[in-house]
């Protein structure tokens, strides 16, 4: 079945770059998403990439997509303490249902 995998934890120093990785299984996914969740809050859509793109940049965020390896990454440049949160990647499930398949989430810890 469809599955999305992420590493569970990443710790970086303030000012460094963070790279959060994700692998997915459904090669027919049209869109792939990155969401951010702060403690006790809902999910905030950060960015997304269409499956025919290799890269998308949005200010400090860079998304890289390797379709051959079904690998997605989110790079956060100049990471700040306010970036500390859980980051989820998600793919659109097959079939026109709008269902999203989420990874387990990567907890990003930014040390001052």
Partner 1 sequence: DGGITQSPKYLFRKEGQNVTLSCEQNLNHDAMYWYRQDPGQGLRLIYYSQIVNDFQKGDIAEGYSVSREKKESFPLTVTSAQKNPTAFYLCASSTSGIAEQFFGPGTRLTVL
Q: How many whole angstroms separate alpha carbon 5 and alpha carbon 25?
A: 9
> Rounded to the nearest whole angstrom, what is the least distance from the CB of residue 23 to partner 1 in the complex?
13
Positions 1 through 30 that interact with partner 1 (CB under 8 A): 4, 8, 30
Nearest in space to 30 (alpha carbons), one of 81, 101, 111:
101
> Rounded to the nearest whole angstrom, what is the least distance from the CB of residue 43 to partner 1 in the complex?
4
Residue 31 as a binder of partner 1 (CB under 8 A): the answer is yes
Select from 11-19, 51-59, 77-85, 103-111 the region that touches partner 1 (CB under 8 A): 103-111
CB 43 within 8 A of CB 36: yes
> Rounded to the nearest whole angstrom, what is the least distance from the CB of residue 10 to partner 1 in the complex?
15
């Amino acid at each position: 079945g469809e599955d999305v995998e992420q590493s569970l934890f990443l710790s970086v120093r303030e000012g460094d770059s963070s790279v959060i990785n994700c692998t997915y299984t459904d090669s027919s996914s049209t869109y792939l998403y990155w969401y951010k969740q702060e403690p006790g809050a809902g999910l905030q859509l950060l960015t997304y990439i269409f499956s025919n793109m290799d890269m998308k940049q949005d200010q400090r965020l860079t998304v890289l997509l390797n379709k051959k390896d079904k690998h997605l990454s989110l790079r956060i440049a100049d990471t700040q303490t306010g970036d500390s949160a859980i980051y989820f990647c998600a793919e659109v499930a097959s079939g026109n249902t709008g269902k999203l398949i989420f990874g387990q989430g990567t907890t990003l810890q930014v040390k001052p």
